[in-house]
Amino acid sequence: EAQVTQNPRYLITVTGKKLTVTCSQNMNHEYMSWYRQDPGLGLRQIYYSMNVEVTDKGDVPEGYKVSRKEKRNFPLILESPSPNQTSLYFCASSSTSEAYNEQFFGPGTRLTVL
Amino acid sequence: GQNIDQPTEMTATEGAIVQINCTYQTSGFNGLFWYQQHAGEAPTFLSYNVLDGLEEKGRFSSFLSRSKGYSYLLLKELQMKDSASYLCACVDSNYQLIWGAGTKLIIKP
């Protein structure tokens, strides 16, 4: 089944404790992206990647890191999480690097930073 | 600045028709998406419009007017399962997606 997977789905952590949210897609997609979604706000892009070893900042990259060492994986790293990073996070992928292609979203990771 | 406006919430009756509007102001325009998002779930693709006009896909239709910076999503024969948020997103001149905050649609029996 074609899908985007994220782990963990739920995470409660404390300020300053490094964490990684994994994202993997099995559709051989070139483009992958991370978003955060907060009440009353639209999806905001954190980072995106147009291909292996190519990553770029989105609208809200501060406090986050990413890597794209393999085509299928695009982990999101929070080196020192803070309470303002409490949010719902989505990973997404699409078949090409052009944004006008349909994006496929993972199930989401609900992160709480205490 | 870039901006996308959608109503925050709408209510409609099962079996009826509802139109969800989206207006946009972006630096350049390379198309507009509509996504559906059920509570606590991932967004799923509904439609993509880049040319003016109406595109129909079953019970859902999407309309675009580039000159007016306006789109709408039309849902017919509403079902309870259509209760969800509907997200409008534009592709700007840099081929990046700009997302609206979404419209929460409540369907009543």
**What band does A97 get if pLDDT is binned at 50, 70 and 90?**
low
**Contact yes or no for B95 and A108 at CB 8 A:** no
Closest A-chain CA to B41: A107
Nearest to B99 among A42, A107, A108 (CB): A42
**Chain B residues closer than 8 Å to A102 by CB:** 33, 45, 48
**Chain B residues closer than 8 Å to A43 by CB:** 43, 87, 89, 97, 99
**Contact yes or no for A100 and B31 at CB 8 A:** yes
As a whole-number percent, the residues of chain B with pLDDT over 70 amount to: 99
Query: Counting beta carbons within 10 angstroms of the beta carbon of residue A1, is it exposed (0 to 12), middle (13 to 18) or buried (19 or more)?
Result: exposed
**Chain-wide mean pLDDT for chain A?**
94
Query: Which tops the pLDDT comparison, A42 or A98?
Result: A42
**Chain-wide mean pLDDT for chain B?**
94
**For B94, which DSSP code?**
T
Nearest to A109 by CA among A18, A41, A36: A36
**Contact yes or no for B42 and A100 at CB 8 A:** no
**What span, in angstroms and rounded, lies between the C-alpha atoms of A66 and A55?**
8
For chain B, list residues whose CB is within 8 angstroms of any CB belonging to chain A.
4, 8, 30-31, 33, 40-45, 48, 50, 87, 89, 91, 95-102
* pLDDT value, residue A18: 97
Nearest to A37 by CA among B74, B35, B50: B35
Closest A-chain CA to B43: A105
**How many Å lie between the alpha carbon of A14 and the closest alpha carbon of chain B?**
23
Lowest mean pLDDT among B38-52, B64-78, B85-99: B85-99
Taking CB atoms and an 8 Å cut-off, how many pairs form between chains A and B? 50
* pLDDT value, residue B45: 94
**How many Å lie between the alpha carbon of B101 and the closest alpha carbon of chain A?**
4
**What span, in angstroms and rounded, lies between the C-alpha atoms of B21 and B19?**
6
**How many Å lie between the alpha carbon of B95 and the closest alpha carbon of chain A?**
5
Rounded to an integer, the average pLDDT of B71-87 is 98
* pLDDT value, residue B55: 95
